[in-house]
Chain A
Amino acid sequence: MNRQEIIQAIADLAPNDALIVSNIADASFELCMLKDRPRNFYMLGSFGLAPSIGLGLALSRPEKVIVINGDGALLYNFGCLPTEHRYAPDNFLHVVVDNGAHGATGYQPTATSAGVDLAAAAAGCGLRAKIVQSLHEFKKAVLGWLADSSPTLIVAKAEEKPPQAAPLVPFSGPQIAARFKQALGS
C-alpha cells in the first residue's frame, strides 16, 4: 500500500464531522487533493506536531480526531507517545504512515528503515498500538477504532512513495485555520 491509498481509506472511513490533522508536506498535499474539507487541518510547518495539535483538539471536542503522521515526524516528536498515553481521550487516533524515509527532503532513510519498531515503542509507552502491512488490514484497524476506540495508534507500513505526487495545498495558513474554526463554530 502507498500513502495515498492510506489517506483515501481514512477519508472514506472517517465520520463526516471527524477532525483530520495531516503532517507537513506530502500527507497534507495528498489529503487536500483526495478529499478537501474544512474539518481538515493541513499542518504546513511545525514538523512533528500533528499528533500534538490533534491531542489538543481531542481534549477539547467530542468529535473523532484522526492524525495522519509519518515515521520521520513521529521520531522527531517522540515525546508525544507518553503524552498520548497519559492524556489522549478515546476519540483520538494516531496513524503513522511508515515508509522508512523523509520523503519531503529527498527520501533519506529514517531509523525505521534500520529496524526501529514504532508500534512496539508505542506499546512500550502504554498505547494500544497495531502494525499493519496491507490496505485491508489498515481499514479493519480503523473500523476497529471507530467501533471501540482500539487500537489508538496504527503503524501502516507503506511503499516509499505513491506513483504520482500531489500539488501543494492551495490555501494559506490563516485560510486553513479560519475555515476550520468556522466549521467548528469556534
Chain B
Amino acid sequence: MSSFSTEDAVREALHEHGIGLCISVPCKYIARLISGVGEDPRFKLIFPSREEEGLGIAAGAHLAGRGSVMLIQNSGLGNMVNAYCSLNLYYEIPLCLIITYRGDELEKIPAQVPMGNRTEKLLDLLGIQTVTLRAAKDLPRLRQGLEWYGNEKKSVAFLTKKTFWNIS
C-alpha cells in the first residue's frame, strides 16, 4: 500500500476514534485531506462561514453524542477565543482541532507571522492540550492524542506543520 498517504492515515484515525463530522474553514495545506473527507461516505463535511460558527456546530454535535473535528488554520483560532471560553470551557464541552500552523518559520506569507508567533501561547492560555505534528512519523502521536481526547473528554489541538502534510 505505497499509495497510503498521510491524509488517508488521518482519516482512518479519525474514523477509528468515532469522529464522523468534519467542520472546516479551509487551508491549502489540507486541501487533499478536505477533498478526501468530502469523498469518504464515513464523514459528513461542513464548511461554516467562519470558525466561531463551526465551534457552535461542533458543540451541538457533542451535546447530541456525535464526535466531530474542526479543520482550521491557526489564524482561525483567534476568531473563536470568546466562544471557546464561554461555551466549551463554561459548559465543559470538549473540542477536537486539527490546526495548520501558518506563520511559523516555514511560512511564505508575512501577514501570517504575527498570529503564528502567538499560536502556541494562545493554545496554552486556553488550556487546550496541544500535540505538534511535524512529519509522517508523528502519526502515532495523532492516534495517542485522539485516544486521550476520547478518554479525558478535554479539548485537544493537533498543531500540524507544513512538513506533516508533505507540502514544499
User: What residues of chain A have their CB less than 8 Å away from a CB belonging to chain B?
Assistant: 21, 41, 43-61, 77, 79-80, 82-83, 86-87, 173-174, 176-177, 180-181, 184-186
Docked-complex contact B65 and A59, CB < 8 angstroms? no
Contact of B63 among A41, A47, A80 (CB under 8 A): A41
How many chain-B residues does the 8 Å CB contact rule pick out? 32
B91 touches which of A80, A83, A174 (Cβ 8 Å): A174
Do residues A46 and B21 form an inter-chain contact, with CB atoms below 8 A?
no
Q: Which of A43, A57, A77 contacts B64 (CB 8 A)?
A: A57
User: Which one of A43, A82, A87 contacts B87 once the chains associate, using CB atoms below 8 Å?
Assistant: A43
- Which B residues are closer than 8 A to A by beta carbons? 21, 44, 46-50, 52-66, 68, 82-83, 85-87, 90-93
Question: Cβ of B90 and Cβ of A53 under 8 Å apart?
Answer: no
A to B contact number (C-beta, < 8 Å): 119
A79 with B90: CB separation less than 8 A: no
Contact check, B49 vs A79: say whether CB atoms are below 8 A apart: yes
Of A52, A61, A177, A181, which contacts B57 at CB under 8 A? Answer: A52
- Distance (whole angstroms) from the CB of A6 to the closest CB of chain B: 22
Closest-CB distance, B60 to chain A (whole angstroms): 2
Residues of A contacting B57 in the complex (Cβ-Cβ under 8 angstroms): 52-53, 55-56, 59, 83
Task: State the Cβ distance, A111 to closest chain B Cβ, in Å.
Answer: 18
Whether B61 pairs with A56 at a CB distance below 8 angstroms is: yes
In the bound assembly, the distance between CA atoms of A83 and B46 in angstroms comes to 8
Contact status of A186 and B53, CB under 8 A, knowing A45-B87, A46-B82, A59-B44: no
Besides A43-B87, A49-B83, A56-B63, 6 new A-B residue pairs in contact (Cβ under 8 A), listed by A number: A45-B86, A52-B48, A55-B56, A56-B59, A173-B91, A174-B91
A44 and B90 contacting across the interface, CB-CB below 8 Å:
yes
